[in-house]
Amino acid sequence: MYQDLALYIDGEFIKGGGRREQDVTNPATQEVLGKLPHASRDDLDRALAAAQRAFESWKKTSPLERSRILRKVAELARERAKEIGENMTLDQGKPLAEAVAEIVTCSEHAEWHAEECRRIYGRVIPPRNPAVRQFVVREPVGVCAAFTPWNFPFNQAIRKAAAAIAAGCTIILKGPEDTPSAVVAMAQLFHDAGLPPGVLNIVWGVPSEISTHLIESPIVRKVSFTGSVPVGKQLAALAGAHMKRATMELGGHSPVLVFDDAEVEQAADMLARMKIRNAGQVCISPTRFYVQEKAYDKFVARFADTISSIKVGDGLTKGTEMGPLVHERRLLAMEMFLDDANQRGGRVVTGGSRLGEKGFFFAPAVVTDIPDDSKLMTEEPFGPIAPVTRFKTTEEVLKRANSLPFGLASYVFTNSLKTATAVSNGLEAGMVNINHFGVALAETPFGGVKDSGIGSEGGTETFDGYLVTKFITQI
């Protein structure tokens, strides 16, 4: 049984009523799973009015009350993780264990914000006149419009919802139309946890129509988007035109630096597993592999060996390690990257072709001998292809790693403290992993620099985008 799909506006789950609908399909079988109702303009206006009305009372709730609801959301998410995970595997494709783990680990975002909202402190500034008292307080910014993608449907939505709600804001969230089940399930969690009507609203439709309508509305005071760089730039420009705050979590093209002195085979195994996670459709996926000369052959052999052993299949089948890509358009993108690599003399060491008659399955690929200006080395692949190239010196690899407009995650493998320090200082990235993978936890900031975005989610930075500063002076 697939999730019952609906809009969620002013505390009500809504569908039917002659609204336009869109099919949601299973990327493993191409079968239709359900019909997703699109929000009409009236629905959007109702969501705006509900969010505005709810803000007037929600902003006055105590952090303790908000905290209580968020803790309940986390508890319910853990209870329902298997069911929500199964639905996510059906519409998104990732292996069931990955889907269930996403629900369980991301319930921590609700808990982190439940804890952190009780520490939204202001400060007292010493006055020039002893009779004056001066304070700084931080207040919720208002109604937020959020747009989340299809690769981590639960993760991306709950990060934004929990941060806005904990800060005392209300939110209208447009989830991913390709993979909606986990977002509807998330709305049900908040509903069942006792969130008042209008504080959280979920809408679906044509993304550009919804984002334009919401961002242009004077009711919305903050925009938060996770998705591709081109769309992020459009939405940030629209937010800027209406002088609204914006948080942008955009694409990356994460460099991996493997030095001669690293545990090369261990690094190859770890990176292969990380590369195929969610079929490579991850903004922090390792995507450009630079391996130092002496380690190169050993790395490529082991990495390709592990990648070629990955079991690709339906995410609901036991033993599947990598599911299908989310949509036909991602398969076409993989083929475009490989065509370009072939034309530029690239060598496909393993994988690189569609698998099976049905479903969007693709054999994960390793490509060597391609130039730095190829599409694979300059555009985010967002799929299971790994280009591997050689480097000689630290200075050279830093220059090449920093040469793109992206700056999200980066990965370094070395046993030298000196090298680790030099590259973590020198990499233009929002997140640096050295000899392990450790980003995207609730208590750590997640975000990029350059074209990869503006602002961070998670960590103590999490409320920066949802609060405004007010200075009060009194005598």
Interface contacts to ligand NAD, rule CB under 6 A: 147, 149-151, 176, 207-208, 211, 226-228, 231, 234-235, 249-251, 283, 329, 380, 382
CB of 285 to ligand NAD, least distance (A): 10
CB of 143 to ligand NAD, least distance (A): 17
Task: Specify whether 457 is catalytic.
Answer: no
Q: Give CA separation, 322 vs 148, 178, 192, 314, in Å.
A: 23, 18, 33, 8
Nearer to ligand NAD, 148 or 292 (CB): 148
What sign does the CA torsion over 161, 162, 163, 167 have?
A: positive
| Catalytic entry in 116, 249, 379, 457 | 249
3-state secondary structure of 271: helix
CB of 151 to ligand NAD, least distance (A): 5
Nearer to ligand NAD, 149 or 352 (CB): 149
Nearer to ligand NAD, 238 or 422 (CB): 238
Nearer to ligand NAD, 29 or 228 (CB): 228
Is residue 303 packed enough to be buried (19+ CB in 10 Å), middle (13-18) or exposed (0-12)? buried
3-state secondary structure of 124: strand
Nearer to ligand NAD, 8 or 382 (CB): 382
Run of H or E residues at 467: strand 467-474
Nearer to ligand NAD, 208 or 309 (CB): 208
CB of 264 to ligand NAD, least distance (A): 29
Nearer to ligand NAD, 391 or 446 (CB): 446
| Catalytic entry in 111, 169, 283, 428 | 283
List, as own/partner pairs, every contact residues 415-419 make where C-beta atoms lie below 8 angstroms and the sequence separation is at least 24, other chains included. 415/259, 415/261, 415/262, 415/263, 416/259, 416/261, 419/259, 419/261, 419/394
Q: Which residue has the tokens 């929990």?
A: 162
Q: Where are the beta strands (DSSP E) in 30-120?
A: 32-37
Least Cα distance to 366 among 305, 279, 281 occurs for 305
3-state secondary structure of 356: coil
* CA Rg value for the chain: 23
Q: How many CB atoms lie within 10 A of CB 228?
A: 15
Cα angle 184, 190, 195 (rounded to 5 degrees) comes to: 135
Instruction: Beginning with the edge strand found earlier in the chain, give each strand of the sheet holding 133-140 in spatial order.
Output: 123-125, 133-140, 467-474
Task: Specify whether 79 is catalytic.
Answer: no
Q: For residue 8, what is the DSSP state?
A: E
Least Cα distance to 457 among 239, 182, 221, 167 occurs for 167
CB of 330 to ligand NAD, least distance (A): 6
CB of 98 to ligand NAD, least distance (A): 15
CB of 96 to ligand NAD, least distance (A): 21
**Residues assigned a catalytic role:** 249, 283
